[in-house]
Structures are given as C-alpha cells and as structure tokens.
Homo-oligomer: A and B are copies of this chain.
Amino acid sequence: MNNYVPGPEDKFTFGLWTVGWQARDPFGDATRPPLDPVESVHRLAELGAWGVTFHDDDLLAVEADRDTAIKRFRAALDETGMVAPMLTTNLFTHPVFKDGAFTSNDRSVRRYALRKTMRNLDLAAELGASTYVFWGGREGSETDAAKDVRAALDRYREGLDLLAQYSQDRGYGLRFALEPKPNEPRGDILLPTIGHALGFISTLEHADLVGVNPEVGHEQMANLNFVHGISQALWQDKLFHIDLNGQHGPKFDQDLVFGHGDLLSAFFLVDLLENGGPQGVSPYQGPRHFDYKPGRTEDLTGVWASAADNMRTYLLLKERAAAFRADPEVQQALQDSKVLELQVPTLSPGESYDDLLADRSAFEDFDADLVGERGYGFGRLDQLAIEHLMGAR
C-alpha cells in the first residue's frame, strides 16, 4: 500500500526562500524569524525532499559573510545527501533593481545585474547545478510611456546571450529557464506568460540552452490553463524546470501549497508530468520543485507541515492519476471521444494536398450536418477524472 512517503526518486525540491519566507507582505510585518539555510536543508531532507534551490542572497539569511555562508551550506548538503539542482539570482529585492535588472533604463544597473548573475553562475557550476532560473520580476513597467519594450527585449536578449555564452565557454553545462509572470511586483512584466517566453527564446543566439520554468500560480494569475501551457512547453522541448504551487485565479500572487488552489488542474498536471496524459509516456524528468509560501498565519511548525503537504498532495494525485489511466472505462471513454485519433496525422502517409483536393469524401461528399450531430462524450471523461481524483472509483 502506498503511504505517500516521499523519497529521492520523487525528485522533490524546495526553494530556500519558501520555507524561509518571513511572511512580510504589502500590508504587514514579518511574523516569523529568519531561518538558517542549514536548518532548512536538514529539515527538508528529513521530510523526504531530494534537493534545495536558492537565490544567491538566500544563503545570507543569518550569515552575512558569503564565503562562510556557502561553506556552511555545502556542508549541510554533504551531511544530508541533498542536491542543489537549480540556482537563481535575486535581481528584485534591492532598490537598485526598481526599474529592472537586464532591462533597467539605467545602463549601469544592467551591467551590475549581469555581474551579479555571473558571480552566481560560477557558484551554480561549483555546486553541480544543471539549471539556472531567470525570473525577471522587475523587468516591466507601470506605464507604457516609460518603457521602450522593443529596446527592453533587445537588452534582455543581449543579457541572456552573453550569460549563455559565458556559461558555455566556462563549460558549466547549465541550461537556462525563464520564469514568466504577468505582473507583480511590476504593473506589467515582460514575457508575461509561457507563450511569450517561448516566442522570445526562439530569437536567442543560444536558443537550445534556454527553456522555461513555468509556475502554476503565475499562469493562473492571467486565468490561463496551466496544463495547456505546460503541454506547449513540452511540445517545444522547453520544459526545463517547473514551479509547483497553488493560486485562486486573477489576484495577487498567492503561492499556496500545491493543490490548495485549483485542485482539478493540479490533478491533470500531475497526470501530464507522470503519465504523459493520453500519450502514456512521462515527458519530464526534472525536479518537482515547490515554489510556495507557507501561510502568514503559520508558525514554524506550520511551515514544516506545509512543506510536507506539498509532497503528500503530489503523491496522492500521482496515485489517482495512475488509477485514472489504468481504468478500462476511461480507456473506452478516450476511444469513444476520439482523443487518441488526434495523434493520427490528418493526411495519410504519402498523401499530398493534391490528393486531399481529389478526395471527394473530404469535402464534396462530406456530410457536415451528420458529423456535426455526433456527440464527443467529453463530459463523461471529465466526470471520470473527477471521480478518480476523489478516490471514488
């Protein structure tokens, strides 16, 4: 029997900034003390996590000296066997980044941002990370009058091209993952969705090294379907990393525990990540990374409980998604709804458009009215999924 106890094979990772969030919000002071990253590593390891991730500055939470902080952190990794598969840069907290980092109107800020990132790329390589995330939370504007977006994209590209070249030349073996978000803290953020990031990436010099790190809540802040977005990222071979959490639609960034928002979407997401949806092959082998915030109402006991809840909910959903796929009734319903027929190319092998034009059954003799009457039975599939999610089948 499944006891939903996570282990390294589940590849669960957490940002240091998640459990370490002191719960300061736009209208309130911190409700929790700073956490020592060393303690976080140990506690997360005990809970069954596989690794931790961090922004450069996260390491300095209780130890101001960078070298000492790194040394202590490495020791904690060694002691626990935890990995640090992803690193990222804090380019948003300090006032200097108030108009952005790589796309600040102020060129000196852009240069500083590149340097701050390069320093941390060195550390990422040292720690054996394979992925480096870029969340451009300050790259944006509050008024269209103040930002030349095309110039900003030029600078964004310039920065990423330089950093990718640097990583490649140094042999760091890093892949870059852009994390889209529509807004907050800026009124509008550049590359607001998975799609915009994918479009942008196609223009980069090292496009092959750059993918996306989508976050559940970020897409849902624009009320976009996260599973659709992840599917497109996978389809373009660009899902380099993923941030799991929860959100209740278009409002401020809630960063709830995974599943504590749109649970049905979480079910289909896990089904896609673990089972490949109807295609039946898991298409993503990277970390299952939780980027959430323990509620501001919680004390440290609640913090660690919430970390465990993320993993437990994921495993529960994984079990239910497996049962959904294994259910013969579901398989029949997928057939009836022609879901699998969509994998069949529209043209037959070797068929040309001239052949299609010559096929009277495709158009001239096609009875659209009759075909239009046929039901697809999608409601039944939805109901079956919900019942599996509820453990009711």
Contact = CB atoms under 8 A, between A and B. Distances in A.
A57 to B, nearest CB: 11
Given A149-B232, A187-B251, 7 more contacts: A27-B92, A158-B347, A191-B195, A202-B202, A223-B251, A260-B382, A298-B377
Given A225-B192, A379-B305, A379-B309, A94 B372 contact: yes
A188 interface: yes
Contacts of A228: 144, 149, 188, 190, 192
A64 to B, nearest CB: 16
Nearest to A198: B199
Interface string A295-323: 11111111001100100110010001000
Contact of A382 (B106, B145, B201): B145
Contacts of A165: 353
A61 interface: no
A231 interface: yes
Interface stretch (A65-73, A75-83, A337-345): A337-345
B256 A142 contact: yes
B373 A31 contact: yes
A118 B356 CA distance: 10
Nearest to A146: B378
B144 A268 contact: yes
Given A98-B31, A150-B231, A158-B346, A376 B143 contact: no
A110 B341 CA distance: 11
A251 B248 contact: no
Contacts of A138: 27-28
B193 A224 contact: yes
Contact of A227 (B144, B191, B200): B144
A226 to B, nearest CB: 9
B184 A96 contact: no
Contacts of A268: 144-145
A376 B343 contact: no
Contact of A232 (B27, B148, B200, B390): B200
Interface in A318-364: 320, 337-347, 353, 356-357, 359, 362-363
Given A195-B191, A199-B199, A362-B115, A252 B249 contact: no
Contacts of A60: none
10 contacts: A26-B185, A28-B97, A30-B95, A142-B295, A143-B378, A198-B202, A203-B236, A260-B386, A298-B379, A390-B391
Given A248-B187, A386-B260, A105 B376 contact: yes
A356 B119 CA distance: 12
Nearest to A268: B144
Nearest to A143: B382
Contacts of A257: 379, 382-383
A98 B376 contact: yes
A13 B17 CA distance: 40
A194 interface: yes
B187 A254 contact: yes
A90 to B, nearest CB: 9
A155 interface: yes
A149 to B, nearest CB: 4
A215 interface: no
A346 B236 contact: no
B27 A137 contact: yes
A25 interface: yes
A369 B29 CA distance: 11
Contacts of A227: 144, 149
